Amino acid sequence: MALFFRRFKTEIHKNELQELFDFIVRQIELSIREIGYGDVTVNKKMKEFVNLFYTILNHIESLEFKKKGINLSIFANYVNIEKNIDFYDDYFTKYRNFLSKNTLNNFTKDIINFNF
């Protein structure tokens, strides 16, 4: 999601970006509540998740994607996978390239399958 925000932040009005962000936060909260946590735990978890999301957004915003392997530091910090980290680096590099080759309108239509 952070890659999506980075790519389309100049094309989407600030109010729409805020609505999208609010929607994401609401969905995270609903997911936590569906697990069965109480209000106190939901608030604690939401604070953790939102802080983590902001941290990832800040790291993605400051990345220079021209250098190969620069994404590995992000994956090492936030993805709990030690094996095949190169696979995820390649995957998100392809995803970023896919986003750069498409317009926002492509993502707002009823397209079911994307191949990147």
Q: What is the pLDDT of residue 20?
A: 82
pLDDT of residue 73: 65
Contact assessment for residue 21 and residue 8, using Cβ atoms and an 8 Å cutoff: no
Return the pLDDT at 55: 83
DSSP class of residue 84 equals T
Please list the rounded mean pLDDT of every run of 10 residues in the chain (116 residues): 75 83 88 89 88 80 60 66 73 78 68 57
Cα separation, 45 vs 89, in Å, equals: 28
Q: How far apart are CA 103 and CA 58, in angstroms?
A: 23
* Nearest residue to 3 (alpha-carbon basis) of 89, 86, 76: 89
Angle at 19 between CA 101 and CA 52, to 5 degrees: 80
Q: Give the pLDDT confidence score for residue 99 in this predicted structure.
A: 78
The pTM for the full model equals: 0.59
